[in-house]
């Protein structure tokens, strides 16, 4: 699998991470044996990269990696100080009628301590389908723009579930009936959460970086079927 490169200079590389790709091996994913994103990049370029931030295995989209280990902290500071704008797209259950600011704390899985978390959710489009999904005779979906102000683990997935609009394809926090319908009707089994855009000022070169990651195949199929545009 060749990884799509969105930006590259002497310090970083920004890639479009595929669905279901681990960034690197971890204790939580110790039973997953397929090559990681770092393995694939090493095979593609012949040397190692160092992730600046994280995306869930099932989340696709924009990911920043440093070329030198000593530069990781410089770029991580952008995330720690909120000097970077992260924009995600999500397909969720139900109609999201208005922009919402979600501020529910999110529990850290390691420490079990709740931390402050903030996500802005903006509706972009909706779709009503004449396909019954338990317990209703039809099904409703929304395309949303999600802008997290913090970076807690599974934050967007937890926050959308918290407001009763879980992300389609989320088997941990989502709705199994809607997930099953997307599998059976559309042959779509992936999580519909995509890190679409990243905007920041390069801390070393000071140039403005604005990158967008193209949508995965499942996304394109649903966008066409629902007649949605980003």
**8-22 burial code (b ≥16 CB/10 A, e <16):** eeeebbbbbbbbbbb
Dihedrals phi, psi of 206, to nearest 5 degrees: 65, 10
Of the candidates 9, 39, 48, 56, the residue annotated as catalytic is: 56
Read out DSSP for 15-39? EEEPTT--SS--STTTT--SPPHHH
Give, in degrees to the nearest 5, the angle at Cα 15 between 119 and 93: 35
Q: Which of 40, 28, 67, 6 is nearest to 153 (CA)?
A: 28
SS3 content of the chain, % helix, strand, coil (to 5): 20, 35, 45
**118 three-class SS:** coil
The single residue listed with the structure tokens 């931390």 is 115
**Partners of residue 61 on adjacent β-strands:** 17, 195
The single residue listed with the structure tokens 């195949």 is 217
10 part of the active site: no
**C-alpha to C-alpha distance for 107 and 128, rounded to whole angstroms:** 33
Q: Which of 61, 19, 4, 22 is nearest to 170 (CA)?
A: 19
Active-site annotation, residues: 56
């Amino acid at each position: 699998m060749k990884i799509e490169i969105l930006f590259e200079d002497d310090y970083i590389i920004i890639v479009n991470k595929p669905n279901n790709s681990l960034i690197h091996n971890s204790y939580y994913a110790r039973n997953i044996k397929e090559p990681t994103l770092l393995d694939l990049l090493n095979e593609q370029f012949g040397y190692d990269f160092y992730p600046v931030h994280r995306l869930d295995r099932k989340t696709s989209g924009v990911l920043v990696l440093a070329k030198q280990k000593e530069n990781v902290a410089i770029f991580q500071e952008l995330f720690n100080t909120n000097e970077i704008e992260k924009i995600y797209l999500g397909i969720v259950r139900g109609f999201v009628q208005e922009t919402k600011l979600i501020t529910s704390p999110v529990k850290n899985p390691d420490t079990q301590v709740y931390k402050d978390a903030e996500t802005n959710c903006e509706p972009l489009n909706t779709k009503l389908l004449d396909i019954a999904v338990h317990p209703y005779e039809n099904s409703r979906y929304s395309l949303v723009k999600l802008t997290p102000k913090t970076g807690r683990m599974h934050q967007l997935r937890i926050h959308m579930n918290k407001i009763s609009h879980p992300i389609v394809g989320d088997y941990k926090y989502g709705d199994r009936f809607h997930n099953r319908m997307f599998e059976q009707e559309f042959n779509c089994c992936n999580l519909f959460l995509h890190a679409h855009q990243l905007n920041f000022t390069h801390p070393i070169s000071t140039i403005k970086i604005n990158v967008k990651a193209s949508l995965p195949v499942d996304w394109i199929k649903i966008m066409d079927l629902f007649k949605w545009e980003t």
